[in-house]
């Protein structure tokens, strides 16, 4: 059995860790509320914009400026992996990295696959064995639509210039603090509409269908990427809050076990000292 000093040191160490994890849990909980409100408020707008784009996409053709709907032969693929800049958030980052590598090695096996990292963890891991053409970790320092839109514009340029034939986004969709869903969305080319193409007849176009589509598609793509980053940001804080909550509970259990072990060791030491005193007294009497 470990001596009392070793057990006391372990109790102090575990207690210190428990204070840190508890503080991180409270910080993440405070940040989660703001991030959750932001993504919840944004989703209706994003969904409606995507719905409108799908309705208009039925009329996209080569003459309407549909350069973002060019379904050419896929030879070069770009995967945008959205992770966090920091760890201590459970399997949040690991799930994204696994899905990104799985896409590259299975779905797009035999093709040229490169990566764009949004988040320091994605860049640090993926660059070891893959080609990461850009790292946008700094976007989380000032998470605004304009900053994310600049990244989306770069991605659109890479597609329209023919540098890549397909662009996929991998991110964690926020469901609640304890649940994040790994999502893989096709960013470019635009996914063709499913269903009745005549639904576009319900719209009156002013000034013209071509001009509206030309302006709507880039805006929709920027919003799609911004929603993915916002979803990931909220998911990160939810995952970290949950992970730190479990870590605090585990530290509490371990501290209680160490205290019990300490008390048993202390009791055994005291009992041993008493026996030595009694034995010495009896020896003197004899």
Give the model confidence (pLDDT) of 97-108 as tens digits.
Answer: 999 999 999 999
Instruction: Find out whether 68 and 160 touch, Cβ atoms under 8 Å.
Output: yes
Judged against a pLDDT cut of 60, whether residue 60 lies above it is answered with: no
Closest by Cα among 178, 146, 173, 185 to 229: 173
Q: What is the pLDDT of residue 86?
A: 92
* E-state strands within 119-266: 132-135, 166-176, 179-188
Give the mean pLDDT of the chain. Answer: 88
59 or 19: which carries more pLDDT confidence?
A: 19
Lowest mean pLDDT among 24-38, 146-160, 270-284: 270-284
Instruction: Find out whether 169 and 185 touch, Cβ atoms under 8 Å.
Output: yes
Bridge partners of 118, per DSSP, are 82
Q: What is the mean pLDDT of residues 250-276?
A: 90
Q: What is the pLDDT of residue 279?
A: 81
Instruction: Find out whether 158 and 188 touch, Cβ atoms under 8 Å.
Output: no
Active site residues: 89
Closest by Cα among 191, 226, 185 to 58: 191
Angstrom distance (rounded) from CA 68 to CA 66: 5
Closest by Cα among 183, 191, 186, 190 to 230: 183
Using the structure block, give the residue that is written with the tokens 């575990």.
14
Judged against a pLDDT cut of 50, whether residue 62 lies above it is answered with: no
Query: Within 13 Å, how many C-alpha atoms sit on residue 98's CB side?
Result: 7
Q: What is the pLDDT of residue 63?
A: 44
Instruction: Find out whether 250 and 185 touch, Cβ atoms under 8 Å.
Output: no
Q: What is the pLDDT of residue 61?
A: 53
């Amino acid at each position: 059995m470990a001596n009392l000093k070793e057990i006391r040191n372990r109790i102090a160490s575990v207690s210190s860790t428990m204070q840190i994890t508890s503080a991180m849990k409270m910080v993440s909980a405070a940040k989660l509320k703001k991030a959750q409100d932001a993504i919840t408020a944004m989703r209706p707008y994003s969904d409606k914009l995507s719905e409108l784009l799908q309705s208009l996409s039925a009329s996209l053709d080569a003459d309407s400026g549909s350069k973002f709907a060019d379904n050419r032969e896929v030879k070069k693929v770009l995967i945008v992996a959205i992770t966090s800049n920091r760890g201590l958030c459970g399997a949040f980052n690991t799930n994204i990295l696994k899905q990104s590598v799985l896409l590259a090695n299975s779905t797009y096996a035999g093709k040229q696959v490169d990566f764009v990292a949004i988040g320091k963890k994605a860049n640090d891991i993926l660059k070891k064995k893959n080609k990461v053409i850009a790292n946008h970790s700094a976007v989380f320092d000032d998470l605004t639509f304009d900053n994310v839109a600049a990244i989306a514009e770069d991605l659109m340029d890479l597609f329209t210039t023919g540098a890549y034939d397909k662009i996929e986004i991998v991110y964690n969709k926020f469901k609640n603090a304890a649940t994040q869903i790994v999502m893989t969305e096709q960013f470019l080319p635009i996914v063709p509409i499913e269903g009745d193409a005549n639904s576009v007849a319900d719209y009156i176009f002013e000034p013209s269908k071509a001009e509206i589509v030309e302006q709507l598609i880039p805006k929709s793509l920027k919003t799609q990427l911004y929603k993915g980053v916002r979803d990931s940001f909220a998911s990160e804080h939810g995952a970290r809050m949950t992970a730190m909550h479990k870590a605090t509970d585990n530290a509490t259990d371990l501290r209680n076990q160490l205290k019990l072990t300490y008390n048993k060791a202390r009791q055994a030491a005291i009992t041993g000292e008493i026996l030595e005193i009694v034995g010495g007294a009896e020896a003197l009497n004899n």
